[in-house]
Structure 1
Amino acid sequence: MEIQIGICGGEYEMKIYDISQEVFGCQVYPGDPTPKKRVISSMEKGDLYNLTAFSMCAHNGTHIDAPFHFIKDGKTVDSVSLDTFIGMAYVAEHNGIVSADDATEILEKAKKQNSEAAKRILIKGDAEVSAEAAKVFAESNILLLGNESQTVGPENAPMEVHLILLGAGAVLLEGIRLAKVSEGVYFLNAAPLNLSGADGSPCRAILIAAER
């Protein structure tokens, strides 16, 4: 979804990109429970109001991985500062395995455009972050790394990449959708739900671009 809003009499145009999956039809990591919806009350059936209950895994669809997901003493999602999830970000397009050289190039491009954006990197495309690339990102003190897959790193062996990034205190934003977003700098809001003690959380991630 893309929303355009005129600002200051049309001098600026703000584009809002919804980069989140719809929850009940979202992708689910193999073995995780799927989101379920239950209608408790329905006006169509004569009830006074509509009321829905739902259940889901913290890692369904578009979601945050907090360090506690793989790090025993790592921060839980509610204890990570909100400015980790909200701020300038850089979208880089890549397909295939992200190597250490690729990660270095992505960070250099981001820093040239906006040093703050280099702290939050979103990878557009069918990409798999290698352990070597994860080390480059971790050593750069990245705050957040996002990708379109349901997991950063190989789907059949995600632990090493998670340990490197989460162990460095970074958070992961997985399952985003960037097909309609071009490479470049944006303002990201991927604030998670305030789930006490949780290892992750669903989120409604958006990108904002302001253009003259």
Structure 2
Amino acid sequence: MTRANPPRLWDISAPVHAASPVYPGDAPYRQQWSATIGPDSTVNVSCLMLSPHVGTHADAPLHYDNDGAAIGAVPLDAFIGPCRVVHAMGCGPLVQWRHIAHAMTADLPPRVLLRTYARMPVDRWDASLTACAPETLERLADAGVVLVGIDTASVDPADSRRLPSHQVLRRRGLRVLENLVLDAVPEGDYELIALPLRLVTADASPVRAVLRALA
């Protein structure tokens, strides 16, 4: 039976191509053709080279903990299910609890996605990106949140060496999505689908992140 009004999907994934921004010194996206359709091949086949942090991605605990799990060993439960998109544009260098308190209700879903940009810079590296205060992550974990997403390249400031917010993720067992594109998404509740690849030794994985309307 065909539904008259199927749920609307929001693609919240950053485009991935050779010009996609990366953390300074990280490996950019590269694509080479191993075979092209012609006299010697019936198909096009490409070879991809990239950091797993290019574009929208899920960090594994291995990214910030030598003893942490690789992304292929991380359970998938946190990456699919009800979520809340919370707008915190113009909040400054860190998303503090006061910037999102308006959306922290008793029925908070276990996944929270933070929008900090009016327009996410998919074409350039932003050294002054907005990160997430460690205390904010602590309070989200206290509220039962299992995954936090953000529309910047990191939950820590770009020049951070100690990565205090990533260490909160490690200690509290939180999953994280970075480089989301939430420009067109109204604040509210959705179903999140953002499954990482089963890369058994990798410190992160690209995801194709989408939101689906709940009704």
Q: Percent identity?
A: 30
Mark the runs of 5 or more structure 2 residues left unpaired by the alignment.
Answer: 118-129
Q: How does 1:7-46 map to 2 (within 5 A)?
A: 9-10=3-4, 12-24=5-17, 25-43=19-37
8 Å CA contact 2:83, 2:191 repeated in 1:
yes
Q: Does 1:68 align with 2:68?
A: no
Hey, what's the Cα distance between the residues in 1 that align with 2:151 and 2:85? Answer: 11
Q: Which amino acid is 2:115 matched to?
A: K
Return the offset for 1:210. 4.1
Taking structure 1 as the reference length, what is the TM-score of the superposition?
0.84
Structure 1 spans left out of the alignment, 5+ residues: 1-6
**2:54 partner SS:** coil
| Cα distance change on mapping 1:143 and 1:56 into 2, 3 Å | same
Measure the CA separation in 1 of the matches of 2:39 and 2:149.
Answer: 42
User: Alpha-carbon deviation of 1:144?
Assistant: 0.9
Equivalent residue letter for 1:63: H
Question: Aligned with 2:8: secondary structure?
Answer: strand
**Structure 1 position 166 matched with structure 2 position 160:** no
Take 2:87 and 2:27, find their aligned partners in 1: how far apart are those partners? 30
Map of 1:3 onto structure 2:
none
Count of aligned residue pairs for this structure pair? 198
Higher share of residues assigned helix: 1
In 2, distance between residues paired with 1:26 and 1:140? 35
1:197 aligned to 171, 183, 201, which one? 201
Which of the two has greater strand per residue? 1
Q: Residue 189 of structure 1 aligns to which amino acid in structure 2?
A: I
| Structure 2 CA distance for aligned equivalents of residues 145 and 47 of structure 1 | 44
Question: Is this contact kept in 2: 1:129–1:152, CA < 8 A?
Answer: yes
The verdict on how the C-alpha distance between 1:55 and 1:37 changes in structure 2, with shifts beyond 3 A counting, is same
Cα contact 1:195–1:201 (8 A) shared by 2: yes
| CA distance 1:131–1:42, shift in 2 (3 Å) | same
Q: After TM superposition, list the pairs within 5 Å mapping 1:42-191 onto structure 2.
A: 42-43=36-37, 47-95=41-89, 96=91, 97-108=94-105, 111-112=106-107, 115=108, 117=109, 119-126=110-117, 127-157=130-160, 159-191=163-195
**Aligned-partner Cα distance in 2 for 1:131–1:86:** 24
Q: Residue deviations 1:101-121, cap 9 Å, x none?
A: 33544432xx43xx4x2x110
Query: How far does residue 39 in structure 1 lie from its aligned partner after superposition?
Result: 1.1
CA contact (8 A) 1:100 1:132 kept: yes
1:73 to partner: Cα distance: 2.5
Q: How many Å separate the matches in 2 of 1:52 and 1:139?
A: 45
Runs of 4+ in 1 over 4 A off after TM superposition: none
Task: String of CA shifts for 1:156-203, please: whole Å, max 9, x gaps.
Answer: 116111111222111110001011111111111110000113221111
Alpha-carbon distance between aligned partners in 1 of 2:85 and 2:39, rounded to the nearest angstrom? 46
Q: Decide whether aligned partners of structure 1 residues 71 and 167 sit closer, same or farther in structure 2, where only a CA change above 3 A counts.
A: farther
The CA RMSD over aligned residues, in Å, is: 2.1
Structure 1 counterpart of 2:96, one-letter code: S
In structure 2, distance between residues paired with 1:209 and 1:170: 24
